[in-house]
Amino acid sequence: MSRRSSFSKVLVCFIGLAFGYVPAHARQAATTMPSARSEAKLKLETTVDEETGHRTSRGTYTVYENRETQSGRTIDLNVVILHATGENPKSDPIFEMAGGPGMDITIIADRARNHPQRDQRDIVLVTQRGTGGSMPLHCELLGTDDNVQGYLTGVWDLEVYERCRDELSQRADLTQYSTSIAADDLNEIRQALGYDRINLRGGSYGTRASLVYMRRHPETVRTAVLSGVAPIAFTNPLYHAVEAQTALDLIFAECAADPDCHEAYGDLAVKFLHIRQRLEAQALEVSVQLPFMNEPQTITLSWQSFAGAFRTLMYFDSRRVPFLVNSAFEGDYKTFAEAGIMSNRSIQNILAFGMLLCVSCAEDLDRITEAMIVEATKDTFFGDFRVRAQKAICDIWPRSVLPANYGDDVSVDVPTLLLSGQFDPVTGPRWGEQAASSLPNSLHVIAPGSHGVGGPCIDAIVEAFIETGTIEGIDTSCVETMDLGPFVMSEE
């Protein structure tokens, strides 16, 4: 654990005044007050829960699609404020930053009602442009509940995105949906709400969005908590293959060192290689039946679709990986296929893939060269399919507008807590270290977990950090005793 170097995983009876709302405590403490112009753009209604007395404000804030010209088409961004529940709340709220790119953070509002920091601080959720509100950049993908094959093989189909580009371009300027532009939206909304300084909490792409915001508006950020860190240097999706391979090797090694796991599953690396050889030689037909299906469907499982689904499954639970590998090795591809479909379905249904491309094509794919692809994907089970497929799609996608310094590491003095999961298959610990190396006021914590770490120990670390506003004196010793529990040994 480096010093420069966890936040739980992800995360009505009274109608109040609907226009120009500013939280009471923010009005008292803020130094930047909302202007009449920003008040006109903000429309919020407040409700009070009859049982708890807790207040929630929901509404929209209107921004120009083209922030530079401040003219033309406008976008309504959804805003949710879960007001602090304590008697003496702090003036600095927590702004949650969504993953993806492409997730609308406001969809977690109901789950966030019991946010661990809500007793002291407002929790603020703002739709990032392109993910929801009045301009969601959704693409109609091939995967549907009537065509579950598409959940396995239809996400990165070039023809899908050619159609999507043409459809979205009729109603949106796809050059105006970068992370930097979204950061300026967020700062404008912060001002309109009357908050002086804020605390940022982001996971996955939400860490990238937080870092970009910190660079553009450092004076407004009190603290930042970044989990599953994707710094500017993480050119998405170039490193998906090597990160997944690293995580898989670690899981196999842990199983081999665990007497119960090793006795039950044997040499998992050899079994995984056998699965690959079988599916590369011939794709299999597998009958699947899932809760959302009226009747079974038969899907074709190739090595490419197996590897893609396997990688996303590792995002959430390293404890089940040995069981799934062993089941497939023994010929039970149904268990794996159903788990993979559910995982991919969840991701597809939560992301606006048009917005994902607006961000990743200009901000990441344009920095990826052929030599980088060859080097980063060699000797990995996932290979180069994903990065090549997405790069081909980006060749036909409009480019977002980026500032000249976009590719530079973010270096600001904001107190920052970075959290990395030991078995993270996409943003492994080295990326947390990479981000921390240019953040002089940061602490990087590596803990047992996958893409996002949590539990009582991590919650306590985050609580202490946000309460004190400094990395100095933060006790992280509980990480040494964290335990993910035993490996899964059966479907039950």
pLDDT tier at 426, thresholds 50, 70, 90: very high
pLDDT at 12 over 90: no
In this prediction, residue 32 carries a pLDDT of 42
Residue 397 CB-density burial (10 A; 0-12 exposed, 13-18 middle, 19+ buried): buried
What is the edge-to-edge ordering of all strands in the sheet holding 123-126? Answer: 42-48, 55-64, 74-82, 123-126, 94-97, 198-203, 221-227, 416-421, 442-447
What crossing angle do the helices spanning 353-363 and 385-394 adopt, rounded to 10°?
Answer: 90
CA 236 to CA 387: how far, in whole Å? 8
In this prediction, residue 33 carries a pLDDT of 46
Q: What are phi and psi of 247, to 5 degrees?
A: -65, -40
Residue 171 CB-density burial (10 A; 0-12 exposed, 13-18 middle, 19+ buried): exposed
pLDDT at 8 over 70: no
pLDDT at 483 over 60: yes
pLDDT at 15 over 60: no
pLDDT tier at 38, thresholds 50, 70, 90: low
In this prediction, residue 490 carries a pLDDT of 83
pLDDT at 1 over 50: no
User: Nearest-CA neighbor of 83 among 104, 108, 53?
Assistant: 53
Query: What superfamily does domain 24-137+173-233+409-481 belong to in CATH?
Result: Alpha/Beta hydrolase fold, catalytic domain (3.40.50.1820)
Q: What are phi and psi of 74, to 5 degrees?
A: -115, 160
pLDDT at 11 over 70: no
Q: Kindly state the average pLDDT of the residues 122-148.
A: 97
pLDDT tens for residues 291-326? 999 999 999 999 999 999 999 999 988 999 999 999
pLDDT tier at 492, thresholds 50, 70, 90: low
In this prediction, residue 447 carries a pLDDT of 98
CA 34 to CA 19: how far, in whole Å? 12
In this prediction, residue 267 carries a pLDDT of 98
In this prediction, residue 39 carries a pLDDT of 62
pLDDT tens for residues 40-54? 799 999 999 999 999
* 341, 143 Cβ separation under 8 angstroms: no
* 222, 198 Cβ separation under 8 angstroms: yes
pLDDT tier at 356, thresholds 50, 70, 90: very high
- Lowest-confidence range among 28-37, 120-129, 461-470? 28-37
Cα dihedral sign, 418-423-429-431: negative
Q: Kindly state the average pLDDT of the residues 75-104.
A: 97
User: Nearest-CA neighbor of 312 among 232, 247, 380?
Assistant: 247
Q: Which residues belong to CATH 3.40.50.1820 in the chain?
A: 24-137+173-233+409-481
CA count, 13 A, side-chain hemisphere, 245: 15
In this prediction, residue 137 carries a pLDDT of 98
pLDDT at 346 over 90: yes
In this prediction, residue 37 carries a pLDDT of 59
